[in-house]
């Protein structure tokens, strides 16, 4: 039994606005699409509708030591000028003098003397399903994130919230729902998934895989998330068991590319990882048993590795003895894989794999990569310039340079000496606005 390939991909009967409104309720959001979720009438919505999101903030970060992750350049007594949410200038006091004068009358000033200034950090793998967790992520320095999927499109609603309320939640690259054999209650996320309920073996046929991708794309996702192995975080599953073969993964990748999306793939086993890379995924997530043969193929293809070491460290502290043992076993193996991948030139991005109620600072992932043996600057790059390239934000995130988005973190000590400084930023700025506590 399979999905009828003649059924056209999604629909007009469930509009993008309707899905956003429903997801907004689940995410704890409100006016995400111009009208509040659950608004009493169209007239009420019309009264509160705005035609465009607000402009960004205008702000001067004065003093402090500026680090450019791309070049490694360190500028002491630096000034960063952000105008309407974008970096107007960043550099020495002399070089930015005219830019400071141009905005001084309207700009808020943050004194950064004695602190280090870095671009806002990027968490390339995190699951955010509500405003509370999303706000915690941004307070901990993740001003941009790539979603690792949500159950009911909450990440799409949060992405809209980030546009309308800058500083409340990170800028988000949404993944929508997981392309996985067993959808469970996620099948309720969209009526167009209903035909899949008839499949005895779950989402495994080419038609079913394409259907889930097409529904995601119709809802406006930025990326597609799939898997090749079972979960590590469930004591009843074996993370080395493969659930999709190379052909199934290639079907998902092709469907995603047709809609202009890349694919991130949850994986653990050596064979599963290799199959995923050969199928054309853009990044390997977790990848504990990543082998050198596959690393070389990843370097050739430009496939990223997101090792999510923070999640494994958290697993090692789990009260369930099976999970705790699994975390203790996986973490050092994954750290060795990350170091060897780095040595071979595989691009690496930081991701915490945090989920509901347990948001780790992205700085913790950078710290664990540094402990794995990456040089401090390269570890920092995994959460700035490297991650920006992976998530499609290389022209607007990962640096504080003219034309980039005005996202920054201020830390109290030299991160090149101790990357753990990134775990506790003293100030976070998103789109030119200081993030409130």
422 neighbors 411 (Cβ within 8 angstroms): yes
Tell the burial category of 94 from Cβ atoms under 10 Å away from its Cβ (0-12, 13-18, 19+). exposed
* pLDDT tens digit sequence for 318-356: 999 999 999 999 999 999 999 999 999 999 999 999 988
Residue 292 predicted with pLDDT over 60: yes
Dist CA 229 CA 259 (whole Å): 25
CATH architecture label of 121-399: Alpha-Beta Barrel (3.20)
Between CA 254 and CA 436 the distance in angstroms is 42
- pLDDT value at residue 28: 52
Mean of the pLDDT values across residues 259-279? 98
- Res. 32: pLDDT tops 80: no
Which percentage of the chain shows pLDDT scores above 70? 88
Give CA–CA dist 38/45, Å, rounded.
Answer: 10
What is the DSSP pairing of strand 433-434 with strand 427-430? antiparallel
Q: What is the residue extent of each domain of the chain?
A: 121-399
| Interatomic CA distance for residues 11 and 219, integer angstroms | 10
CA dihedral 238, 243, 245, 248 (to 10 degrees): -150
Mean pLDDT of the chain: 91
Whether residue 4 is predicted with pLDDT greater than 60 in this model: the reply is no
Give residue 357's pLDDT: 84
Among 86, 81, 33, 90, CA closest to 55: 86
What are the tens digits of pLDDT across the range 211-221? 999 999 999 99
Assigned token pair, 149: 């999927």
Backbone angles phi, psi at 169, to 5 degrees: -140, 160
pTM: 0.89
Neighbours of 250 (CB within 10 A): 19
47, two tokens = 């009264």
Distance of CA 369 to the CA centre of its chain: 17
Q: What single-letter DSSP state applies at residue 360? A: P
């Amino acid at each position: 039994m399979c999905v009828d390939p003649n059924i056209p991909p999604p629909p007009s009967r469930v509009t993008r606005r309707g899905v956003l409104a429903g997801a907004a309720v689940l995410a704890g959001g409100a006016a995400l699409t111009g009208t509040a979720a659950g608004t009493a009438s169209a007239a009420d919505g019309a009264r509160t509708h705005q035609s465009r999101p607000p402009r960004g903030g205008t702000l001067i970060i004065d003093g402090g030591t500026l680090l450019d992750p791309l070049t490694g350049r360190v500028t002491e007594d630096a000034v960063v000028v952000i105008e309407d949410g974008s970096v107007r200038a960043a550099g020495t006091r002399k070089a930015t003098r005219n830019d400071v004068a141009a905005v001084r009358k309207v700009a808020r000033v943050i004194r950064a003397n004695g602190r280090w200034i870095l671009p806002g950090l990027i968490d390339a793998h995190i699951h955010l399903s509500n405003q509370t967790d999303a706000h915690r992520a941004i307070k901990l320095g993740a001003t941009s994130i790539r979603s690792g999927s949500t159950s009911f499109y909450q990440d799409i609603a949060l992405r809209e919230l980030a546009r309308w309320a800058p500083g409340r939640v990170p800028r988000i690259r949404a993944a929508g729902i997981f392309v996985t054999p067993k959808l469970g209650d996620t099948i309720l996320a969209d009526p167009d998934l209903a035909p899949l309920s008839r499949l005895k073996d779950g989402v495994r046929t080419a038609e079913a895989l394409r259907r889930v991708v097409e529904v995601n794309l119709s809802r406006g996702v930025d990326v597609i998330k799939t898997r090749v192995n079972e979960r590590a975080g469930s004591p009843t599953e074996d993370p080395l068991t493969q659930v999709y073969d190379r052909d199934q993964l290639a079907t998902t990748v092709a469907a995603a590319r047709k809609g202009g999306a890349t694919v991130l793939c949850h994986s653990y086993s050596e064979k599963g990882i290799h199959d995923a890379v050969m199928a054309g995924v853009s990044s390997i997530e977790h990848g504990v048993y990543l082998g050198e043969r596959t690393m070389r193929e990843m370097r050739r293809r430009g496939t990223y590795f997101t090792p999510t070491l923070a999640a494994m460290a958290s697993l090692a502290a789990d009260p369930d003895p099976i999970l705790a043992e699994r975390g203790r076993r996986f973490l050092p193996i994954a750290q060795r894989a990350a170091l060897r991948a780095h040595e071979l030139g595989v691009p690496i991005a930081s991701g915490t794999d945090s989920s509901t109620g347990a948001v780790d600072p992205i700085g913790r992932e950078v710290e664990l990569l540094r402990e794995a043996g990456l040089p401090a600057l390269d570890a920092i790059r995994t959460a700035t310039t490297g991650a920006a390239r992976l998530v499609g934000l290389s022209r607007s995130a990962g640096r504080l340079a003219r034309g980039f988005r005005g996202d920054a973190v201020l830390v109290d000590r030299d991160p090149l000496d101790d990357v753990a400084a990134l775990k506790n930023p003293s100030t976070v700025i998103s789109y030119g606005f200081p993030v409130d506590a």
